[in-house]
Amino acid sequence: MGGGIVPRVLFGQENAFDLGLQGQELLGRGQYDQAAQVLERAGALDPENTWILEMLGRSYYRIGQRENAVTVFRKIRQLEPENHIARAWVEMLTQTPLPRKPKERPPTQLEREAMAEEEAMLSRLEGKDSAEYQIRRVVLDPGHGGFDPGAVGPTGLKEADINLQVGKMLADSLNSQGNIKAFLTRRGDYFVPLSERTVVANQYRADLFISIHINANENRTAKGSETYFCAEKASSEEAQRVAEFENSVIKYEEESAYQEGMIDLEDLLF
C-alpha cells in the first residue's frame, strides 16, 4: 500500500467515522487540503458530528478559508452551546485587527514577550490542550458582610446586602446552565475574613474566583470607569480615602491572616 492513506468503506459505502479518522491522519501530517476534502465528505454523511466539524474548521483555517472556518465553528456552537473551544475559534477568527502604523523601531523586550504569549495562546487553542481552558467550577465572593457593611446609602441600604443578592442570583444563573457549578463564600449576613475566602476557593478547586463589590461615591455626579492597581501611594486624595476605607477591615483579621502555611499576599505583591 506504500504507507499512504487507504480509503475505508463499509459494505461498499463510505463511513463518516472512518473518513473522520482519515481526516485526522491527514491533519496530523499537515496535508490540510486533502484533510478538508475528506472531512467535507464525512460531514455530509454525519452533519451534526462536532468531532468531524472541529477538524474541518481547523482544516479550512489552515488553507486560508477563514469564512468557511467561522461557519463551521458557529455550527458547532449551535449544536453544543457550552463548547468553549468553538467559541474561542469564532472570537479569534472574527475579531477585526486594529490599524497599525509602521514601526520605526525594533520591538522592546516587553513587546516581544507579549507577542510570544499571544503565539503560545494561539498554539494551545489549536492543540489538544485547549480543553484546559474550560471553566467548570466558579467561586463567587460577595464582598463585606456582618459587622462590615461596606458602603451604606442615604436610605441605609448596605453594599454587603446587594453583593450577597447579586452573588446568589449569579450562582443560580450559572448552576442552571448545567455545565458550571457555582459556590458562594458566604450565604448570609456574616463576616468572612479575606484569608478564609481564598481558602474556600481552593477547597472547591475553583477555575475562576469572582469577588463582587458595588461602587459608591459621595459625589452624586460621578460617572465613567475606574481602574485599580497595586501601588505604594494613592493617585489622589479620593483614591487614598477609598483605599483606607476598603482596607480598614484588615484590622479584624490580624489573628487569622497569618496562620501557618499561608502566604502573605502583601509581601508577595510588593
Which domains occur in the chain, in start order? Answer: 9-97+126-131 (1.25.40.10), 135-269 (3.40.630.40)
Q: Which three cell numbers stand for residue 178?
A: 448545567
158-193 b/e (C-beta count within 10 Å ≥ 16 → b):
bbbbbbbebbeebbeebeeeeebbbbbbbeeeeebb
Residue 250: predicted pLDDT: 66
- Higher-confidence residue of 229 and 99: namely 229
Half-sphere exposure of 124 (CA within 13 A, CB side): 12
End-to-end CA distance of the chain: 64
Residue 181: predicted pLDDT: 93
Orientation of helix 84-94 relative to helix 109-126, angle to 10°: 130
Q: Collect all residues with Cβ–Cβ distance below 8 Å to 42 and sequence separation of at least 6.
A: 16, 17, 19, 20, 23, 49, 52, 56
The model carries a pTM of 0.46
Instruction: Report pLDDT digits (tens) over 164-202.
Output: 999 999 999 999 988 889 999 999 999 888 888 888 888
pLDDT surpassing 60 at residue 2: no
Instruction: Report pLDDT digits (tens) over 17-49.
Output: 889 889 888 988 889 999 999 999 999 989 999
Q: Which three cell numbers stand for residue 54?
A: 472541529
- Higher-confidence residue of 122 and 168: namely 168
Please report, as a single letter, which amino acid is at residue 232: E
Question: Is residue 67 within 8 Å of 40, Cβ to Cβ?
Answer: no
Residue 125: predicted pLDDT: 65
